Amino acid sequence: MTRLALIAASLAVACLISACGRASDPTLTDDVIVIKFPHVVAPGTPKGQAATRFAELAEARFPGRVDVEVYPSAQLMNDDDSIEALAFGEIQMIAVSLSKFDRLTHAFQVFDLPFLFPDIAGVEQFQQSAAGEALLTTLADDGFLGLAFWHNGMKHFGAGTPLRRPADADGLNFRIMESDVLQAQIEALGGNPQKMAYGEIYQALQTGAIDAQENTWSNIYSSKFYEVQPYFTVTNHGYVGYLVAVNPTFWNALPSDIRAGLEEIVAEVTDWGNAQSVAINEDSRAKLEQSGRTNILELSAEELSAWRAAVQPVWEQFSDEIGPELIEATQNPAATNQRAGAN
């Protein structure tokens, strides 16, 4: 059991002993349920907009009973701290990149396999399949109940020098999220991966502590990485998406009408937010181009295949850890639905 799992389990027991909830849980006193919901990106990004909308709808539906405090742009804490804070019950809701649950589960590593999903529609199909939906509850025993997957978008590489061929990445220091698959991906390119919190990227690029990074257009634009990084390459090589999670002990202690209402709102916001995530990223890309401060390189099909080939060994490397069936399910989500229906 991981340290976090132990913390979550002991908190759950402590909570049960103290008849968790109304009297003992500060979030539930005075009949106002406070949901602290920190995240690390700007309010205009797909996640930023979805979090704000969740707060608006929850407060409109439960006036005076639910108070959602959204803290964008890592104002309250970074993602790693928020994972821990959720387990401790210090905050009530998170939407953290799937890559950052690496230390708790190998299952989400599937989302980091390079070039596994061709686009957001492919990710969506998998997440809505039986195999994908099952991932929502994979961390429930560890203290993280997944309510939804929210999309950001597909990732692209950015660097201080043009990245046209995999060899261009050789020897560069790349910032990555806290994921062993992403580490292996950069190593396969001959780069030096550095796991780093999102809020530190801008300064690390500015000071030259890192040379390169990978992210979505909406993150690159809203966090102004283009001010300190002149070259981007359109690769669509990976996915940034989030597990929207709550602490199950907290969630199950909510009055049932509120819990059911909030779950409905999460579902509604998920449909709304995911449907506009591609457009938000396209808009950010257009604004990057209009800024006149960036060079966005489009690759030929041949050049793109070279990147694909360079990182392909990562699939094999992580196949056993992730589970070959799960990888297979991403390629053929309809088949897992049929199997689930037959059981």
- Interface contacts to ligand LMR, rule CB under 6 A: 40-41, 47, 97, 152, 177, 198, 215, 219, 240
Shortest distance in whole angstroms from residue 259 CB to ligand LMR: 26
Shortest distance in whole angstroms from residue 84 CB to ligand LMR: 16
Q: Which residue is nearest to ligand LMR (CB)?
A: 97
* Residue 244: CB atoms within 10 Å: 24
Shortest distance in whole angstroms from residue 52 CB to ligand LMR: 15
At 253, give phi and psi (nearest 5°).
-85, -5
User: Judged by CB, which is closer to ligand LMR: 150, or 315?
Assistant: 150
User: Judged by CB, which is closer to ligand LMR: 40, or 184?
Assistant: 40
Beta bridge partners of 243: 96, 149
Shortest distance in whole angstroms from residue 193 CB to ligand LMR: 13
Give the HSE-up count for residue 126: Cα atoms under 13 Å, Cβ half-sphere. 22
- In the chain, DSSP assigns E strands to 33-38, 66-71, 93-97, 145-159, 173-176, 192-195, 212-215, 231-246, 295-297
Shortest distance in whole angstroms from residue 251 CB to ligand LMR: 22
User: Judged by CB, which is closer to ligand LMR: 179, or 336?
Assistant: 179
Distance CA 85, CA 14 (A): 16
User: Judged by CB, which is closer to ligand LMR: 62, or 149?
Assistant: 149
Distance CA 9, CA 294 (A): 48
User: Judged by CB, which is closer to ligand LMR: 28, or 196?
Assistant: 196
Whether 11 and 91 have beta carbons less than 8 Å apart is answered as no
